[in-house]
Amino acid sequence: MAHGPAKGIGRWLFTTNHKDIGTLYLWFSFAMFLLGGFFAMVIRAELFEPGMQIIKPEFFNQMTTMHGLVMVFGAIMPAFVGLANWMIPMMIGAPDMALPRMNNLSFWILPFAFTLLASTLFMEGGAPNFGWTFYAPLSTTYAPDTVNYFIFGVHIMGASSIMGSINIIATVLNMRAPGMTLMKMPMFVWTWLITAFLLIAVMPVLAGAVTMMLMDINFGTSFFSAAGGGDPVLFQHVFWFFGHPEVYIIILPAFGVISHIIPTFSRKPLFGYSSMVYATASIAFLSFIVWAHHMFLVGMPIGGELYFMYATMLIAVPTAAKIFNWISTMFRGSMTFETPMLFAIAFIILFTIGGFTGLMMAIAPSDIQYHDSYFIVAHFHYVMVAGAVFSGTAAVYYWLPKWCGRMYDETMGKVQFWVSFIGFNLAFFPQHFLGLAGMPRRYADYALQFSDWNMISSIGAFTYGAAQLLFMFNVIRTIRSGTPVSEPKTWEGAEGLEWTLATPVPYHTFSTPPEVK
Amino acid sequence: MSRRANMLFALVLAPVLALVSSGSALAEEAQRWAINMPKGVTPVSNAIYDIHMTIFWICVVICVGVFGVMFYSMYVHRKSRGAVAANFHENTTAEVVWTVIPALILVVMAIPATKTLINIYDAADAEIDVKITGYQWKWQYEYLGEDVTYLSELATPESEIYNTAPKSQYYLQEVSQPLVIPVKTKVRFLITAKDVIHSWWVPDFGVKKDAIPGLVTESWTYVEEPGVYRGECAELCGKGHAFMPIVVNVLEKEEYNAWLGEKKTEVAAIRELAKKTFTLDELMVKGEEAYNRSCASCHMANGEGIPGVFPGLKGSVVAVGDISKHLDVVVNGVSGTAMQAFGGQLSEVDLAAIITYERNAWGNDTGDVVQPIDVLKFKQGQ
């Protein structure tokens, strides 16, 4: 019936197949993960001891900025789009994504965006150096000329995300197998559907922010310059109106992944499916009305301050419900601890810690001390790395055997897990202490009382970095020479349409829609 | 080698040390391995500390409960122990309970937080007003109504930063002139910036507020113990972000008044100096010193700047061209660029010395001498 993939490079350039595009996204994001990780290693090497040893402060700022931008926009977001491309059609019984050519385009503009961004490292004036949050006027009046490359890069990334989201929404709403009502959709599909709406809502806001910057820099407007009647704080409002939903864009699909892995290895259905759906939707809604908790120190009136504090604290409620649901899923299950499950459990523990520090920072008076210190650096690495990256790693181990019909090396996977887990905590737990003791973030150099925890943090970061090379090795080894597997269900407890397909998954699937009861 | 071993040893002991920090040698180790927020020396910092600890302990209790159930389950409900999976997957009562209870806990947290925040926002009835202005990369303190204004810059020498000299005790935490305030007095800070956003943070006071160009934000403190307190800039402000610390010297009230009197005399003397005529050599010596303090971080000590970011002055059109243009750039800055207006920051003597230095250093041998009076006339003439 169906033909196989085309031969040669053309297969990848012109492909409209959701699995090929998913693979492209995943490899691209892994490449960006290594690049962003390399920047992180430079940062931690410089911070190993007080004093400037390896790089200059101006280059240090370029490293922190590029690390953040590459990790958020290049590594984590495309990784989950890759997983969505692979899994959504298989999970809802569709033959492919609804808009396959746009799918191709939304991937293939990404390498250009990041080439533009990374090329600034080699230009006069250097790469963007104003932090991934690019606050004006540091990013406008005081920015190097290369900021224009950054702006164009962000526009392209935004276009890619919006196209990807349209595609996901169109696929999920139109191409579900007969009988699969919305409330029967797998959690990963649900979380991605909600994420896609978030993306469509906020990526244009980001585009607006960078366009206003472009105007201020090149065409004499003063959106963000007080001297011309503008307001630097306006930039922060616009940025965080994008930026806060953005963190949920990153974490919601991770919630989806965990909601598949925990039931599979507990051999028990997900506890509280409908409450999980409602919790996800509530978190998405709340994400739009809490943005100024990133700006507690800009001198807001007290009414605004109190409102944003209360609204932010509310997010703890649906998030806690999710944690309780996962734990109830595990309770009285029949658990085994393969690599994906280990990463999923670590996700629950570490994400909860990150959630608690988030709650602490929601308290406006205490945030005075936490704000812009290493405490926040620790917090967002607990939710971004232990949240998004751990769950992405779990997802790859979980579905890789299904994708390529070969089993990964379980021992190597477990070694990678433990090295990652120990390295991660060694790197980031001490950063809580550093922040509370008074070390601000984005510091190229620091006072002597911060020396010891910084050294430990650097050792942890190098350890965590090394574990990722092990991950790459394990994945490549699996694809090339892993033990072949052929049962449709890789995992005893796995449920869902994707596990009814042959292993490895054929190039085209579900040409006839399956029936969902 | 022993340092490494010591470090690993201390890593294991750190939590223990934090608990038994009463012994003096141990107290020092505990400070080195500090793991918590300082309690600070103001009512606000104490209130913040209390909220921080309350919420921390609530979180710890919840963590123990939640993870306790999880670890119990992970141990007991394992397939290898023969556990057979149950099939329950819904319970509305449970869902309601674990939605309502966290919501109630949040209310408990919100009450003290709201009270403290209202107190923090009440800056009324301050006895002293200090205007704090952030610049790349230094702070300016202006005692409003007292005619005392000065800059506070990093005092740590480059040699310590670039590891050619041993680091002193207060490495990166010492400044040319600290902010001085009296003890047990409500002091209001009016905070702003002239270039990019900075943030003025002194952890021991529980004060951190953004310094935003074009806006004035407000904060205040009431310090209960005299002493020297150190803080830092907390908002990324460019390459010198880590190098613009804050030092506040809190004095007894009489000492403060004496200090303020001295400071006023000093200001008058500097003003008097502006009327004097200097030789080229005098200006070059003063100029080199002032240039390295105020200009070299961007234009570099060798006058070559950083290509693509900060222009060089060696042989530049401004530095060897028309003097009044040169005065204009230094005094008024260049709008739309990183070049600040130094007219309000530096004394006439310093400005004259810097301009003279720039016109005669690095082979810019124009021979021009700019006197303080020339700067004053230029300022008055515009």
- Partner-chain contact A456 B11, CB within 8 Å: yes
Select from B120, B149, B174 the last residue of a domain. Answer: B120
Interface contact B109, partner A, CB < 8 A: yes
For domain A10-500, the question of CATH label 3.30.420.40 is answered with: no
- Same domain membership, residue B254 and residue B323: no
CA distance B167 to A141: 35
Nearest to A389 by CA among A426, A363, A357, A421: A421
Q: Quote the domain boundaries for residue B16.
A: 2-32
Residue B262 inside a domain? The answer is: yes
Interface contact B214, partner A, CB < 8 A: yes
**Which residues, at least 6 apart from A91, have a Cβ–Cβ distance to it below 8 Å?**
A185, A186, A188, A189, A496, A497, A498
Tokens standing for B247?
């030092």
Region class of B190: left (phi > 0), else alpha (psi between -120 and 50), else beta: beta
CA distance A52 to A306: 41
CA dihedral B324, B266, B185, B36 (to 10 degrees): 70
CA distance A200 to A193: 11
Taking contacts as CB-CB distances below 8 angstroms, the residues of chain B near A296 are none
Nearest CA in chain A to B209: A297
Q: What is the pLDDT of residue B59?
A: 94
Taking contacts as CB-CB distances below 8 angstroms, the residues of chain B near A302 are 117-118, 121
- Same domain membership, residue B133 and residue B98: no
**Which residues, at least 6 apart from B340, have a Cβ–Cβ distance to it below 8 Å?**
B135, B136, B194, B195, B333
Q: What is the pLDDT of residue B22?
A: 47
- Same domain membership, residue B187 and residue B103: no
- Partner-chain contact A141 B338, CB within 8 Å: yes
Q: What is the pLDDT of residue B212?
A: 96
> Collapsing DSSP states into helix, strand and coil, what is residue B170?
coil
Cβ atoms of A73 and A496 within 8 Å: the answer is no
CB atoms within 10 A of CB A112: 14
Tokens standing for A418?
């433990």
Nearest to B208 among A297, A310, A455 (CB): A297
Backbone φ, ψ for residue B233 (5° rounding): -75, 130
Residue B38 inside a domain? The answer is: no
Shortest CA gap B254–chain A (Å): 31
CA distance A399 to A458: 32
Question: Tell me, what CATH number does B155's domain have?
Answer: 2.60.40.420
> Collapsing DSSP states into helix, strand and coil, what is residue B141?
strand
Interface contact B232, partner A, CB < 8 A: yes
A48: enclosing H helix or E strand:
none
Write down how long chain B is.
Answer: 382
E strand spans, chain B: 128-135, 138-143, 148-152, 179-182, 186-193, 198-202, 207-211, 217-222, 227-233, 246-251
End-to-end CA distance of chain A: 27
Q: What is the pLDDT of residue B26?
A: 63
Interface contact B280, partner A, CB < 8 A: no
Interface contact B362, partner A, CB < 8 A: no
* Omega cis (within 30) before A506: no
- Same domain membership, residue B109 and residue B136: no
> What are the C-alpha distances in Å from B356 to residues A48, B104, B313, B348?
42, 68, 13, 12
Shortest CA gap A259–chain B (Å): 13
- Partner-chain contact B85 A130, CB within 8 Å: no
What single-letter amino acid sits at A219?
A: F
Q: What is the pLDDT of residue B17?
A: 44
Nearest to A81 by CA among A205, A192, A174, A175: A192
CB atoms within 10 A of CB B125: 8
Tally: H helices and E strands in chain B = 12, 10
* Omega cis (within 30) before A137: yes
CA distance A435 to A450: 10
- Partner-chain contact B48 A365, CB within 8 Å: yes
Per residue in A421-478, pLDDT tens?
999 999 999 999 999 999 999 999 999 999 999 999 999 999 999 999 999 999 999 9
Backbone φ, ψ for residue A407 (5° rounding): -90, 140
- Same domain membership, residue B296 and residue B321: yes
CB atoms within 10 A of CB A174: 10
Nearest to A316 among B38, B67, B102 (CB): B102
Per-residue pLDDT tens digits of chain B, which is 382 residues long: 344 444 544 444 454 444 444 455 666 666 677 888 999 999 999 999 999 999 999 999 999 999 999 999 999 999 999 888 888 888 899 999 999 999 999 999 999 999 999 999 999 999 999 999 999 999 999 999 988 989 999 999 989 999 999 999 999 999 999 999 999 999 999 999 999 999 999 999 999 999 999 999 999 999 999 999 999 999 999 999 999 999 999 999 999 999 999 999 988 888 788 788 888 888 898 888 889 888 888 888 888 888 877 888 888 888 888 888 898 888 888 877 778 888 878 888 888 899 999 998 888 888 888 888 888 888 887 7
Taking contacts as CB-CB distances below 8 angstroms, the residues of chain A near B207 are 368
- Same domain membership, residue B262 and residue B156: yes
* Omega cis (within 30) before B137: yes
CA distance B53 to A431: 18
* Residue of A47, A138, A326 to mutate when probing chain B, most B C-beta within 10 A: A138
Q: What is the pLDDT of residue B315?
A: 83
> Collapsing DSSP states into helix, strand and coil, what is residue A406?
strand
pTM: 0.90
Taking contacts as CB-CB distances below 8 angstroms, the residues of chain A near B107 are none
CA distance B161 to A46: 12
Cβ atoms of A186 and A116 within 8 Å: the answer is no
Q: How is A352-386 classified by DSSP, letter by letter?
A: HHHHHHHHHHHSHHHHHHHTTBHHHHHHHHHHIII
Q: How is B242-291 classified by DSSP, letter by letter?
A: GG--EEEEEE-HHHHHHHHHHHHHHHHHHHHHTTS---HHHHHHHHHHHH
Per residue in A390-432, pLDDT tens?
999 999 999 999 999 999 999 999 999 999 999 999 999 999 9
Q: What is the pLDDT of residue B40?
A: 93
Residue B37 inside a domain? The answer is: no
Cβ atoms of A165 and A196 within 8 Å: the answer is yes
Q: Is A68 exposed, middle or buried (0-12, 13-18, 19+ CB in 10 A)?
A: buried
- Same domain membership, residue B173 and residue B244: yes
- Same domain membership, residue B251 and residue B227: yes
Cβ atoms of A194 and A285 within 8 Å: the answer is no
- Same domain membership, residue B134 and residue B263: yes
Residue B240 inside a domain? The answer is: yes
Tell me the Cα Rg of chain A: 22
Taking contacts as CB-CB distances below 8 angstroms, the residues of chain A near B188 are none
- Partner-chain contact A309 B306, CB within 8 Å: no
Q: What is the mean pLDDT of chain A?
A: 95
CA distance A99 to A94: 12
CA distance B360 to B303: 11
Active site residues of A: 67, 96, 132, 160-161, 244, 246, 248, 259, 293-294, 319, 322, 441
Residue B254 inside a domain? The answer is: yes
Taking contacts as CB-CB distances below 8 angstroms, the residues of chain B near A365 are 47-48, 51, 113, 116-117, 120
CA distance B223 to B296: 36
Residue B264 inside a domain? The answer is: yes
Nearest to A302 among B84, B117, B172 (CB): B117
Shortest CA gap A142–chain B (Å): 5
Cβ atoms of A461 and A427 within 8 Å: the answer is yes
- Partner-chain contact A365 B117, CB within 8 Å: yes
CA distance B125 to A352: 43
Q: Packing angle between helix A232-266 and helix A339-362, nearest 10 degrees?
A: 140
Backbone φ, ψ for residue A455 (5° rounding): -65, -45
Cβ atoms of A83 and A488 within 8 Å: the answer is no
Tokens standing for B205?
């006071």
Interface of B with A in 25-54 (CB under 8 A): 31-38, 45, 47-48, 51-52
In chain A, % of residues over pLDDT 70: 99
Interface contact B121, partner A, CB < 8 A: yes
CA distance A72 to A61: 17
Query: Residue B248 forms beta bridges with which residues?
Result: B179, B229
Give CB contacts under 8 A, 24+ apart, made by B262-265. B263/B148, B263/B150, B264/B146, B264/B147, B264/B148
Interface contact B207, partner A, CB < 8 A: yes
Q: What is the pLDDT of residue B89?
A: 86
Residue B244 inside a domain? The answer is: yes
Nearest to B335 among A227, A330, A446 (CB): A227
Nearest to A281 by CA among A320, A323, A326, A248: A248
Cβ atoms of B84 and A266 within 8 Å: the answer is no
CA distance A82 to A20: 9
- Same domain membership, residue B227 and residue B154: yes
Residue listed under structure tokens 């001490």 = A430
Nearest CA in chain A to B166: A51
Taking contacts as CB-CB distances below 8 angstroms, the residues of chain B near A138 are 196-197, 236-238
Query: Residue B180 forms beta bridges with which residues?
Result: B249
Cβ atoms of A140 and A213 within 8 Å: the answer is yes
Positions of chain A with pLDDT lower than 70, given as ranges: 1-3
**Which residues, at least 6 apart from A368, have a Cβ–Cβ distance to it below 8 Å?**
A296, A297, B48, B120, B206, B207, B208
Per residue in A166-223, pLDDT tens?
999 999 999 999 999 999 999 999 999 999 999 999 999 999 999 999 999 999 999 9
Taking contacts as CB-CB distances below 8 angstroms, the residues of chain B near A300 are none
Tell me the Cα Rg of chain B: 28
Tokens standing for A304?
């605004």
Cβ atoms of A76 and A160 within 8 Å: the answer is no
A420: enclosing H helix or E strand:
helix A410-436
Q: What is the pLDDT of residue B29?
A: 67
Nearest to B241 among A232, A299, A443 (CB): A443
Taking contacts as CB-CB distances below 8 angstroms, the residues of chain B near A350 are none
Shortest CA gap B212–chain A (Å): 7
Total tally of structural domains belonging to chain B: 4
Residue B59 inside a domain? The answer is: yes
